[in-house]
Structure 1
């Protein structure tokens, strides 16, 4: 049988490339609904090959494809392909394609470009798409042809999500063709199988349409875990802008259920009605929601900060994080003749020094233990007179306290030790690191590794807390800082930060005078008064978000009132080692879990 160049059968309704481009561009502008399936062109493809894996040298022997749009066939493509290799007998029996049939067929270097041209501008569809698309991509790379970047739909994957055992015994193409009443019976020939896949695709579209899936975006993110009731609420996002901001889901009584943020409000909220959001809690939340409120923000950072403030204000039941910023702990170095460290819940105006905040009491206690290990400050509660006359406690006998209670230390010596402690809290962490490292080494030398691990965790907790406090304090001491960064669209985002709190945000319009815009933004920004602790004017989480933005690439400081500096020998320089240890611990496999170890072969003796 002689085979001519690839046969392309075109239906009368073929749309010219220019017209397709026009329709595509106009469709893309209708972004609030995505790209309707009925308006898209799909190229359904099927391959026959000499084997199951291209990595094992298998070759393509036939390509068949059908191009459809809106249920109408636009054209068909079919060609045998000379693999320049013997077709295995069982493959010849399965497909009916023999060596003699492909002897005069075009090779893949001729057939593949013809297919790519036929499919260009379409959404590629295949049953078990990784197989067919994998072969096509492999040979495109081998031949040096750029892959067009097709969007791909896998009918097998879709079927597994919507077809039940009552519909078909399995999701093979032959079973689905029967289930959807295909007019073509799959027979392991490329064009026939592609025609059958077209009927399966349309049958799946019909079923998915009843579940609220009408666009390619919804199709690509579809999952059966998203209920039809959840999908029907996608209209709640239609009034939202394509802009950064905060969104609030509200119930029928206008109570806030959930608060989130996004660079694109409409796209993000729409994802809650598709498979992009398949968490069961979010499905329950969407089921209760009757309205979505959007708050447009000038910049993504402003949106993140507003989100934190609104979550703290409303405490939505479906938000798990940031709901209770007030529930924190602090370590306090008291201001008294014989200072001590105390675990407290809030900062007050008492001229004391504070370390924190800590999100949990456990972390605060670990840091407290680390400090007590390095500095023998008293641990008893209550105030001591200038000349105490109590008896010493057991900590003094263990050399873990200078024992001011029994007069073992004078005020000046104790004050020098407290000054070193304060220095480690506010400016560096060297003495704590050195003391606990010595202790860990001693314990390790005695093979007391679990005890050494306890000290390691205490040190890590302290280093992280000290680094955080030192970085936050540096920014909150600064009365005003104005910074700018050029965004992806070429415009400059500007933020005004006062005492660690975001006071103003804006984007300089392309036709505006930059200096005048910044001055106007400063004048209209929120007035912020300094507070009492490291994060007095904002929550620690808000100030940390601002710090991450300020430390990101491309930042330019426009104006600084006061100073924004961090200690050269701050605790942050010790973070890298502890982060590396933490990553190493996470990568270890516990002894009670199975591991695959290589087999070691001993040489024969």
Structure 2
């Protein structure tokens, strides 16, 4: 089954947030510009936060700089995200304002009576902008009028470096985000503080917000200094553009695409939920801004496509192909066998261990899988903090041998010392049963133990230790929540579900032991019941795994669970039912976050030299909450 592209993260920013972000991301080491120094693109090593920009906008009587005049100039001087000054004036163009321009801008001929002529205004503007970089939206228009006015009035044009926000926007704003790159569209996209309405100062203020947002997007692409802006809007390299023929012949259908290299190796696997041809073509345009993707395209010799029935099939097939081929340019998880689990062992005196493989072992309990051994270790520490089970690794006999000595954990009350006979099988089993319940169901014993510990540490202003305790709780909740979501589906031999499709019809899926076994789509005129029976009959046979591990990559089950949790999804066939624990780790994670955050913030004083944001970062669990369902 096919592949999806890594989800595009939403990039809309508030104008003020964008300005602050721009100021932060471009901060660096460079030489300070002396006042009045003419800045040029050849001046290397000037961080953008040290550059003074003058963002300018004009209103005119028409579109031709040779035949029309300027009616209004608005400009804003900014540096490092801060506004340094503004310049605004009406200008008498020496001719009537055409009616259509009056309707567009609201500037009438009567409003310009008594306004200064351009001969008086231009010197003041040039002084205002001296030593700065000019910025304009569709800069050739505004700069063209200004240079034409300078020629007519006999003023030398200083040769300002010019930045065009339209060209920058074409580099970093895709058609998926905005239908065009007009100022009003970009201002709305970035939530500018001023709505552009074809008045010079207001449009310039909106352009400032757009500029800051664009600089924030360009920073991860290496555009952090003034000289970087000279090439920020470069066209697509010729060798990359020539590869666009690789998309020819691909279908206009959802599915998975595979870029292959000169030795037929798979370089990259991606997905499209609408049109494979359209998606692949974006790799050969200016819309593709990832350097590693450009490198991949240069190596590619062909693109293979696999058409899929549904978007879920495409995403699952992508994951399987990535796991199978381990493409060098994909960054998704490729090695499910390396994802660790936390296991409660089966022996007279059980203990916790971190393992790589789940076995169907009666009496064992599991949480995971975890993204790393470090995360699994944190979860083990969280459970040990709540339940005093032994932490030694050797297997203990049911009866302690004579002369055995206890470890230091027994001396401090963290272990009942079953190794020396200090705790018998029955009393130890009581502790283990509580731990097993916290791993498979209700996590409140672990949450409450950590909340008490965080409260005590915060009261003593020991915030770094409190943060460590919080991180342990977070790792445990994530692992337990994932197990409690994946486990029930991994134990389900077969589940058939249907999701409504916009415009009518259904997406149908057959899931066996957490693995997508079959999928299809029916239109509104087709009875889905025969299709369901056909899918069940032809679906992939899936052997029962060692639950709670699913019969596939855990991320595949995550994709299936996310699909099942969509609004409107109906269970068509689930003989054994399917549900997650009502009071499981997922259900209490938000409460745990609120408790730890509230405790830390309530006890922290303004004199504490610890960043509150670092101490009180909320405990979160990835993925949506699954509601229990039955057929």
Q: Distance in 1 between matches of 2:105 and 2:331?
A: 57
Residue 407 (structure 1) aligns with: 421
Q: Following superposition of structure 1 onto structure 2, how do residues 488-499 of structure 1 map, counting pairs within 5 Å?
A: 488-499=502-513
1:334, CA displacement in angstroms?
0.3
1:461, CA displacement in angstroms?
0.8
The change in CA–CA distance for 1:249 and 1:491 in structure 2 (over 3 A counts) is same
The change in CA–CA distance for 1:531 and 1:155 in structure 2 (over 3 A counts) is same
Tell me, yes or no, if structure 1 residue 302 matches structure 2 residue 324: no
Q: Distance in 2 between matches of 1:469 and 1:346?
A: 14
Q: Distance in 2 between matches of 1:156 and 1:444?
A: 48
Residue 252 (structure 1) aligns with: 262
1:231, CA displacement in angstroms?
1.0
The change in CA–CA distance for 1:275 and 1:337 in structure 2 (over 3 A counts) is same
Counterpart selection for 2:541 from 513, 527, 531: 527
Tell me, yes or no, if structure 1 residue 334 matches structure 2 residue 345: yes
CA contact (8 A) 1:48 1:62 kept: no
TM-score computed with the length of structure 2 as normaliser:
0.62
Residue 466 (structure 2) aligns with: 452
Counterpart selection for 1:479 from 476, 483, 493: 493
The change in CA–CA distance for 1:532 and 1:553 in structure 2 (over 3 A counts) is same
Residue 548 (structure 1) aligns with: 562
Residue 376 (structure 1) aligns with: 388
Residue 147 (structure 1) aligns with: none
Counterpart selection for 1:363 from 375, 400, 416: 375
Residue 396 (structure 1) aligns with: 410
The change in CA–CA distance for 1:578 and 1:250 in structure 2 (over 3 A counts) is farther
CA RMSD of the aligned region, Å? Answer: 3.8
Tell me, yes or no, if structure 1 residue 442 matches structure 2 residue 456: yes
Is the partner of 1:322 in helix, strand or coil? coil
Q: Distance in 2 between matches of 1:252 and 1:95?
A: 62
1:471, CA displacement in angstroms?
0.9
Q: Distance in 2 between matches of 1:305 and 1:292?
A: 19
CA contact (8 A) 1:246 1:260 kept: yes
Residue 284 (structure 2) aligns with: 273
Tell me, yes or no, if structure 1 residue 571 matches structure 2 residue 585: yes
1:227, CA displacement in angstroms?
1.4
Is the partner of 2:498 in helix, strand or coil? strand
The change in CA–CA distance for 1:249 and 1:159 in structure 2 (over 3 A counts) is closer
Q: Distance in 2 between matches of 1:247 and 1:583?
A: 44
Residue 85 (structure 1) aligns with: 111
Q: Following superposition of structure 1 onto structure 2, how do residues 67-86 of structure 1 map, counting pairs within 5 Å?
A: 82=108, 84-86=110-112
Q: Distance in 2 between matches of 1:383 and 1:294?
A: 53
Is the partner of 2:305 in helix, strand or coil? strand
Residue 313 (structure 1) aligns with: 324
Residue 216 (structure 1) aligns with: none
CA contact (8 A) 2:309 2:519 kept: yes
Is the partner of 2:416 in helix, strand or coil? coil
Residue 387 (structure 1) aligns with: 399
The change in CA–CA distance for 1:56 and 1:418 in structure 2 (over 3 A counts) is same
Q: Distance in 1 between matches of 2:141 and 2:445?
A: 58
Residue 73 (structure 2) aligns with: 51
Q: Larger RCO: Structure 1 or Structure 2 (Cα < 8 Å, ≥ 6 residues apart)?
A: 2
1:158, CA displacement in angstroms?
4.0
CA contact (8 A) 1:481 1:496 kept: yes
The change in CA–CA distance for 1:325 and 1:131 in structure 2 (over 3 A counts) is farther
Q: Deviations over 1:74-93 (max 9, x none)?
A: xxx99996254246744543
CA contact (8 A) 2:486 2:550 kept: no
Equivalent pairs counted in the alignment come to 431
Q: Which moved more, 1:352-361 or 1:56-65?
A: 56-65
Is the partner of 1:440 in helix, strand or coil? helix
Is the partner of 1:543 in helix, strand or coil? helix
The change in CA–CA distance for 1:512 and 1:331 in structure 2 (over 3 A counts) is same
CA contact (8 A) 2:343 2:353 kept: yes
The change in CA–CA distance for 1:82 and 1:336 in structure 2 (over 3 A counts) is same
Larger Rg: 1
Is the partner of 2:487 in helix, strand or coil? helix
The change in CA–CA distance for 1:503 and 1:582 in structure 2 (over 3 A counts) is farther
CA contact (8 A) 1:334 1:342 kept: yes
1:266, CA displacement in angstroms?
1.3
Residue 288 (structure 1) aligns with: 299
Is the partner of 1:516 in helix, strand or coil? helix
